[in-house]
Chains A and B, each alone.
Chain A
């Protein structure tokens, strides 16, 4: 919900249809998310169907304030705006805040990170590496 992945829920008595959308096309977590939703709702006695939808296409703007905070707490810097993202990823501007010490003195190590949705950053002050959630619009 906080990630904006769950788009719609239709409840009809004991039947539930949950519509989800992928962050990136190749996100391998989608099958897992769908299975988790089904298990959780089935446990409550619902008959659950999960449908994957593509339109409208997911954007990082749909991550809620709560979602951004949870990302930061988990150690993933939340996405900037599109123009700021470009400057940050090309190294022209230091806008990404270190999730460990909060310093803005950070540098991009790799534009592509451990998963499709992230870039790898390093903090110059505390020297810790961390993930940055790439902006997608």
Chain B
């Protein structure tokens, strides 16, 4: 799940390479994408090692079907405009940081090592996206409206981040995974405080989309994967 989140969000951000609205945001978003891909490689190399046999990180990344990807619905949402990109990033970064903060103490040594490494990078991501939420929210009338629209639209997708699946419950009980209930509390506090500073109204929308972590995705994932897997599907086992 964590690896798939980083992979799909990393891919979404990589779509902006050379298309960012300004040089600063273009470089920042692709840098964040690179960090996420680096983290994915650590997770997938570890997963491949556990699976053994013929499995490699590339098999895991490129040869699964959509329902085998367990990323949350939030990260697969499209780059509608900069406000959507920032809102998606902000919701995810705050969650990601809190999640890694718990995984640092995972009883699984390798997960703990990856979390300790990644959290340093994710701190920079969170700072970047929070600043942009404030800049757009508390900017011009137009940027404020766009930021509010994006926050309102994407908020229902954040429910998926906190919906505990049976797998997550068993990982939590084994001391490997994180406690999502605790994360949700801190997440709400932090998100509300940034939105308040950004003069954005917190969406009190009780409805939430869920299912991504169990392989039930929005239509967007299929398009992402057809892009992402094209090379391996067209030329099986090709390498650089």
Contact = CB atoms under 8 A, between A and B. Distances in A.
B38 to A, nearest CB: 3
Given A25-B41, A54-B113, A112-B28, 17 more contacts: A24-B34, A24-B38, A25-B118, A26-B34, A26-B35, A27-B38, A28-B34, A54-B110, A54-B114, A55-B109, A55-B112, A57-B120, A109-B24, A110-B28, A111-B128, A120-B27, A136-B121
A137 interface: yes
Contacts of A122: none
A contact patch SS:
loop
B178 to A, nearest CB: 18
Nearest to A86: B127
Interface string A83-97: 000000100000000
Contacts, number: 73
B198 interface: no
Interface residues of A, number: 25
A55 B119 CA distance: 13
B71 interface: no
Contacts of A114: 27
Given A22-B38, A24-B38, A112 B27 contact: yes
Given A25-B35, A26-B34, A55-B109, A110 B23 contact: yes
B198 to A, nearest CB: 16
A54 B117 contact: yes
A116 B33 CA distance: 10
B39 A26 contact: yes
B34 A116 contact: yes
B230 interface: no
Contact of A55 (B32, B41, B116, B128): B116
A133 interface: no
Interface string A15-47: 000000010111110000000000000000000
Interface of B: 23-24, 27-28, 31-32, 34-39, 41-42, 109-110, 112-114, 116-118, 120-121, 124, 127-128
Interface in A96-137: 109-116, 120, 134, 136-137
A24 B28 contact: no
A57 to B, nearest CB: 4
A115 B28 CA distance: 10
Nearest to B45: A52
Contacts of B39: 25-26
A93 B28 CA distance: 21
Interface in A50-69: 54-59
